[in-house]
């Protein structure tokens, strides 16, 4: 029987080989499971995410004893809610059963403020938008300092909690967490944090040049934030980049206003700096495959494809990125074991040949109703047992 360190290295190297579009020993198994882990183990989210790293670990232990995985993209405890509570109400609400985001809270900047953002994004964000978002950061300077001191202390507790969990999952379960950082494209930053969806779509129609200039002005700032916190790209972990805006754009607008920043991000991270990057390609990307074929050539890029024909994706853009996905969450939630195994078999037959493929769910499993345990167990076992090259 292999010791845990050997299992960890074997699984990690299997994923790295797939990302490089080489042929590993087996197809890596990497379902996107988040809060489902805690639900499957019948452990409160508050207990797992805030109160007890031991409870958090036990949830992973229970789930990944039942469900075979080679890796996970990351520890799901990613929102330091206690930190943000020092400054007022945050975007996320954590209960025993769910972690929810409040919608329509991203319209922080006014349409007539683009010039200020473009001319000096750091100053505008720090001195205008942050006080607007957090009114408690105005007034008595000592009180503001005390809030920051308390927030830093809370953040250290948050980091220590996750460090304990991550270490135990690696050393006791032999399972790597692949992500070490996250970076949004700058158009997604404008939409998610500054102008919200309605504002952004209106701006693209009315002020496309200002929208482009704002995205350009933010690029170096966001890149510095990431690379200063994750400084070791040679360790072959991932930068996680969820792509939110593209599929709401016409292909011509995507090509003009979004793709330049996606290209620049991939080129800067993967080509010039040697980071591995995972693109979470939300919704249907088939209308954009021809444009994506112009992405930089790299062996550091993974694309999780949420919708559409993944065989078409591999044929169209599989020379630009490792393809990840293939197992529909809808089928895991409502289908039979036999139907789910049929889909897993299709993934092996159509996506695995030639390497450059990671078996995964097509979207994130969160609620306990998102996937029947017997279905997820069955497909992960099937790929692990039959996905041998």
Q: Sort 65 into a burial class: Cβ within 10 Å, 0-12 / 13-18 / 19+.
A: exposed
Rounded CA-CA distance 38/45 in Å is 7
Q: Which residues are within 8 A (CB) of 338 and not within 5 positions of it... i.e. 6 or more apart?
A: none
Cα atoms found within 13 Å of the Cα of residue 61, Cβ hemisphere only:
13
CB 324 within 8 A of CB 358: yes
- For residue 82, what pLDDT is reported? 84
* Phi, psi (deg, nearest 5) at residue 178: -85, -35
Q: What is the DSSP letter of 299?
A: S
- Helix, strand, or coil (residue 48): helix
Structure tokens at 358: 């990671």
Domain residue limits, the chain: 4-386
Q: Report the Cα–Cα distance between both ends of the chain, in Å, rounded.
A: 22
What average pLDDT values come out for the chain (389 residues) when binned by 10 residues?
A: 87 98 97 92 89 94 97 86 79 66 72 97 94 86 91 93 95 96 96 94 96 98 94 96 96 97 98 97 95 97 96 96 97 97 98 97 90 97 97
Statement: the pTM of the whole predicted model exceeds 0.85: yes
- For residue 78, what pLDDT is reported? 79
CB 323 within 8 A of CB 18: no
Structure tokens at 236: 């072959």
In CATH, the architecture of 4-386 is Alpha-Beta Barrel (3.20)
- For residue 49, what pLDDT is reported? 86
Query: Rounded to 5 degrees, what angle do the CA atoms 54, 60, 65 make?
Result: 125
Q: Which residues are within 8 A (CB) of 265 and not within 5 positions of it... i.e. 6 or more apart?
A: 183, 185, 219, 223, 241, 277
- For residue 138, what pLDDT is reported? 84
Structure tokens at 337: 């074991």
Structure tokens at 89: 């109400």
**Backbone φ/ψ region at 133: left (φ over 0), alpha (ψ -120 to 50), beta:** alpha
Residue from 35, 63, 61, 83 nearest 173 by CA: 61
Handedness of CA 348, 354, 360, 361 (dihedral sign): negative
């Amino acid at each position: 029987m292999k010791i845990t360190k050997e299992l960890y290295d074997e699984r990690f190297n299997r994923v790295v080989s797939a990302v490089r579009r080489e042929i590993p020993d087996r197809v890596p198994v990497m379902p996107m499971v988040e809060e489902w882990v805690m639900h499957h183990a019948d452990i409160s989210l508050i207990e797992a995410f805030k109160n007890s790293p031991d409870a958090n670990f036990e949830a992973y232990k229970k789930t990944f004893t039942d469900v075979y995985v080679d890796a996970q993209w990351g520890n799901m405890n990613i929102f330091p809610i206690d930190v943000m509570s020092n400054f007022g109400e945050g975007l996320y609400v954590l209960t025993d059963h769910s972690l929810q985001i409040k919608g329509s809270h991203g319209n922080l900047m006014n349409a007539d403020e683009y010039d200020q953002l473009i001319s000096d994004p750091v100053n505008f964000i720090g001195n205008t938008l942050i006080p607007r978002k957090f009114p408690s950061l105005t007034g008595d300077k000592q009180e503001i300092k005390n809030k920051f001191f308390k927030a830093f202390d809370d953040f250290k507790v948050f980091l220590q909690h996750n460090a304990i969990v991550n270490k135990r999952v690696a050393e006791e379960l032999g399972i790597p967490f692949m992500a070490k950082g996250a970076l949004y494209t700058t158009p997604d930053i404008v939409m998610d944090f500054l102008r919200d969806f309605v504002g952004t779509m209106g701006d693209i129609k009315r002020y496309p040049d200002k929208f482009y200039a704002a995205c350009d002005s933010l690029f170096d700032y966001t890149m510095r934030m990431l690379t200063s916190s994750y400084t070791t790209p040679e360790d072959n972990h991932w930068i996680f980049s969820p792509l939110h805006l593209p599929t709401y754009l016409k292909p011509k607008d995507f090509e003009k206003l979004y793709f330049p920043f996606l290209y620049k991000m991939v080129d800067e991270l993967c080509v010039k700096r040697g980071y591995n990057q995972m693109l979470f390609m939300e919704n249907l990307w088939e209308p954009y495959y021809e444009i994506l074929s112009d992405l930089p050539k790299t062996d550091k890029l993974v694309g999780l494809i949420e919708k559409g024909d993944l065989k078409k994706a591999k044929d169209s853009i599989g020379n630009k990125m490792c393809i990840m996905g293939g197992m529909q969450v809808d089928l895991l939630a409502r289908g039979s074991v036999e139907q789910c195994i049929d889909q897993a078999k299709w993934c092996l037959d159509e996506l695995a040949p030639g390497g450059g493929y990671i078996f995964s769910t097509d979207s994130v499993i969160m609620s306990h109703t998102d996937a029947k345990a017997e279905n997820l167990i069955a497909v992960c076992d099937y790929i692990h047992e039959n996905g041998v090259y």
